[in-house]
Structure formats: structure tokens, C-alpha cells
């Protein structure tokens, strides 16, 4: 597994024409959460696996979901 890069997260935001602080990243791993935080992106932990849920929640994400269906776009 490769470690996520905050630089790549920032590049993705830039490619979308957005500032990182106006973005949110759905993360399913510690490395993804760390990269998003370092890039200044808000974090939603995707904690579907009960065994990893505590590990992801310990990183204090901005929000957490167990199912992707819980995600809603703001209108």
C-alpha cells in the first residue's frame, strides 16, 4: 500500500478549480485522513469496517459514515 500524499490531494482540488479548504475527502484509511488533513481538506471517515472504525474515529474526522448512502450533497 502506498502512503497518500497531501500534495496529490491539493493537486486534485486544484484540478477541480477549488481551494482545499472548500473541499471534503471521504477517507477509508489512516493514510488518507493524514493526507487530507495535511492538505487542509475536511475529512469524512468511511468507517464501514467495525474493526477499523475506532482507529479512524480516533483521528477526529470532521464527520463519519458507515455506509456511503449516508452521504448527501448540499444543495
Do residues 6 and 27 make contact, with C-beta atoms less than 8 angstroms apart? no
- Gap between the Cα atoms of 66 and 41, Å rounded: 20
Do residues 41 and 20 make contact, with C-beta atoms less than 8 angstroms apart? yes
| Cell numbers standing for residue 9 | 490531494
Q: Decide if domain 6-67 falls under CATH 3.30.930.10.
A: no
Domain boundaries, the chain: 6-67
Q: What angle do CA 75, 70, 32 make, to 5 degrees?
A: 95
Q: What pLDDT score was predicted for residue 3?
A: 65
pTM flag (> 0.85)? yes
Q: What pLDDT score was predicted for residue 73?
A: 72
**pLDDT digit of tens for each residue in the chain (75 aa)?**
456 899 999 999 999 999 999 999 999 999 999 999 999 999 999 999 988 999 999 999 999 999 999 988 765
Q: What pLDDT score was predicted for residue 24?
A: 94
Amino acid at each position: 500500500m502506498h502512503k497518500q500524499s497531501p500534495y496529490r490531494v491539493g493537486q486534485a482540488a486544484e484540478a477541480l478549480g477549488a481551494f482545499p479548504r472548500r473541499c471534503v475527502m471521504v477517507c477509508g484509511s489512516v493514510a488518507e485522513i493524514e493526507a487530507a488533513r495535511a492538505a487542509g481538506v475536511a475529512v469524512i471517515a468511511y468507517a464501514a469496517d467495525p474493526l477499523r472504525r475506532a482507529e479512524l474515529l480516533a483521528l477526529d474526522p470532521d464527520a463519519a459514515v458507515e455506509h456511503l448512502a449516508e452521504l448527501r450533497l448540499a444543495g
